[in-house]
Structure formats: C-alpha cells, structure tokens
Amino acid sequence: MKTSLNLRQTVALTFIPNFGPRRFKKLLEAFGTVKDIFEAPAEELCRVKEIEIKQEMALAIHNGAILEQADKEIKKASSGDVEIIPYEAKNYPEALKSIDDSPIVLYVRGKIPTEDQPKIAVVGSRISSLYGQRIAKVISADLARVGVTIVSGMARGIDTAAHEGALEVNGTTLAVLGSGLSYIYPPENKKLAERILKKGALISEFSMDISPEPKNFPIRNRIISGLSRAVLVAEAREKSGALITADIALEQGRDVFAVPANIDSTKSKGSNSLLKQGAKFVTDAADILEELGFSPSAAAEPDIQNGDTAKSLDGDEKKVWSFLDSEPIAMDELLERASIPANRVMMALSFLEMKKLVKKVPGNYFVKASS
C-alpha cells in the first residue's frame, strides 16, 4: 500500500504525547509544511515562540518509531474503509481550518459534503424529554429537506433524534464521535451508524483504537461546531455537554440557537438559560434559515395534498389530524373527540403546527392548513 509522505508524517505527529492541535499549528506557521517540520533540527523546533515545544517532543519527531506507528495506523484505517485526511490535504474541511485548534488529522468513514452545502449542528442532552427529542427530529428533518447537512454526535437522546430526523427525509447527516472509528458508541446506535454512512459520514480525530472515554466527548464537541455554520441546542440540562458545544461555537464565531421549553423541567434548564444569555430563539427551521440568510420558505412544508402525509405522523398526531378539517374546531370539542389526555392533544397540535399542517385561529380553534 502506497502512502503519501504528508499523510504518514502527519499521522505520526498525533502519536507524540501532549503534542496537540495548537502546537501543531504553531509549528506549521513557523516552518510552512509538515515535511519542513520533520526536516528541521530539534533545537529549532524548541525555539518556536508563543508555544512550548519540549525537547522530548522535538526528539520524538526525529524518532523513526512514530513513523512505524503511523504506518500501522494507516493500514488499520484502510482495512476498516476509513480515510485519514491530514490537515494539509485539499479535502480537509475549510470550516475546520478556521478554528484555532483544528484537528491534526480527521478519520472519515463515508463522505463529507462539499463546503457549499450548509451544515448546522443540532445537539442536546443524552437524558432528554420526549418533547426535546421530537423538536430535534422535526427541525432536523425540515433543515435536511432543503439541503442542510445535520451535524451531531450520535449520542443517546437529542443527538440520535437529530440524525434520525435528517435520515427520515433522505437528508445528509454527519456524526462526530468521541472515540476511534473502530468503536460505535453507544452500541445500540450501530444500525443508525450504518444508515448515516449511506447519506453522510462518521468522523473522528481519535486514532482507530481509542475507546469512548468521558474525557473525549468535550474534545470532539469543537469539531461538531467547527464543521457547522451554526449550532442549535434543542434541549439541555444545566451541566450538559451541549452547553460546552454552545460555548465553543461562540468562541469560533458560530451562531447559537436554542429552543424554549418547560421552565419547570430540569431537562431544559440549560437551553432556557442559553436564551436568557442571548442565544437566538427558535421554534422551527424557518427561524434558523431566515437568520442565516437562507430562503425562509425553505423550511420544507410537507405536501398537504400528498396522501402520504398521515403516514409521516406518529400515533397522537395522526389521531388529532383525523379530527381536523377545513372548518375550525374548538379545543374542547377536539379533546372530547380524541379521547386522549389533554397534554397529549396539546403536544400533538404543537408538532402539527410546526409541520405547517395545522393553524390556530382566534378563539382557541384549530383548522387544517390550506394547501
């Protein structure tokens, strides 16, 4: 197997202890290319200003053992159908190059869409409510329907819902993992990972055999936001990793959006707090598209005349939808007809409104949206 010098040397740098993306970029600024870094004497590497290059790091660069490690890693990745994209490669995402701590390499299984295809991150807590998951799914679907790539972390809860929303409308989605690509975590998302690969990619900066340790997830969050034009926090607890992603996004100059939720729920305290701090208020995909300068009409309304509309609804939505017509119906009458708890009727109506299938009219009446 032929391996480019650039790839081999760049992968080798990732095996030097404590040699991270910031040191890498400083050396690149000082010497020009990865090849030049390897050719520079150790003492010159140590003299780079603004960042500490320890002698053991400089000596490691001249140690052939790390190149042997790189060879093994490249072989393992190739056998797993994984492409390793070094920082200097033409297909390394430009959006990621703009952040201060760009990954030295990216491991990619699947295909990352081109730069001209907009990407929006949809994130939130692993421990999430049904409301939060449905919001993430609906908004992700509406964004994906108009060509936006959904970026998330394939974690339980909101992340999973975001990926599923995109896939349900045959959209593109990227999953950034907190482990090497030899691991799919959580394990119950193996089938989801397979579906993602058909329409997008699994991405990591971690070498193939790195397990999904807790410390890895905050590190990978900068890639989720770095790949994206903006970040939507669909639902987050007070100490959620999604809030870390939001903070990083702001540092990277990305827009941050949040969905309002029940003020009494611990599951949404973090996202509600973001709104208080100035995150942009979102109730549907159109809010995001309009803020980012995309066509507001791009929020991909379902075709109401299409006979498949009802098939796309869940149980409560389908039931409530069946009692609506072109003539307004009062909430009291709808509750009586539906014969399900009021909170479920109200939630179903909320999601039907988001999907542009239902309109609320004065007097607490509801009507099917006109075609």
pLDDT in tens, 79-126: 999 999 999 999 999 999 999 999 999 999 999 998 888 999 999 999
Decide which of 109 and 357 is more confident.
109
Decide which of 47 and 362 is more confident.
47
State how far the alpha carbon of 333 is from the alpha carbons of 322, 326, 366, in Å: 13, 15, 10
Helix (H, G, I), strand (E, B) or coil at 120: strand
Asked if pLDDT for residue 182 goes beyond 50, the answer is yes
Predicted pLDDT at 304: 41
Asked if pLDDT for residue 357 goes beyond 70, the answer is yes
Asked if pLDDT for residue 155 goes beyond 80, the answer is yes
Average pLDDT, the chain: 88
CATH 3.40.50.1370 fits 119-299, yes or no: no
CB 244 within 8 A of CB 223: no
Q: Which sequence spans correspond to the domains of the chain?
A: 5-110, 119-299, 310-368
CA dist 225 and 302 (Å) reads 29
- Kindly state the helix (H) or strand (E) to which residue 86 belongs, with its residue range: strand 83-86
Predicted pLDDT at 295: 54
Predicted pLDDT at 306: 42
Predicted pLDDT at 370: 64
Smallest CA-to-CA distance from 53 within 24, 80, 29, 75 is with 24
Predicted pLDDT at 3: 61
CA dist 159 and 34 (Å) reads 35
CA dist 120 and 229 (Å) reads 6
Mean pLDDT of 137-156: 94
As assigned by CATH, the class of the 5-110 domain is: alpha beta
Predicted pLDDT at 85: 97
- Kindly state the helix (H) or strand (E) to which residue 244 belongs, with its residue range: helix 241-251
CA dist 9 and 28 (Å) reads 13
Percent of the chain residues past pLDDT 90, beyond the cut: 58
CA dist 32 and 13 (Å) reads 15
Smallest CA-to-CA distance from 125 within 226, 209, 235, 260 is with 235
Strands 105-110 and 173-176: unpaired
State how far the alpha carbon of 63 is from the alpha carbons of 55, 93, 277, in Å: 12, 30, 49
5-110 matches 310-368 in fold: no
**CATH classification code of 310-368:** 1.10.10.10
Lowest mean pLDDT among 18-22, 88-92, 253-257, 359-363: 359-363
Smallest CA-to-CA distance from 351 within 128, 124, 136 is with 136
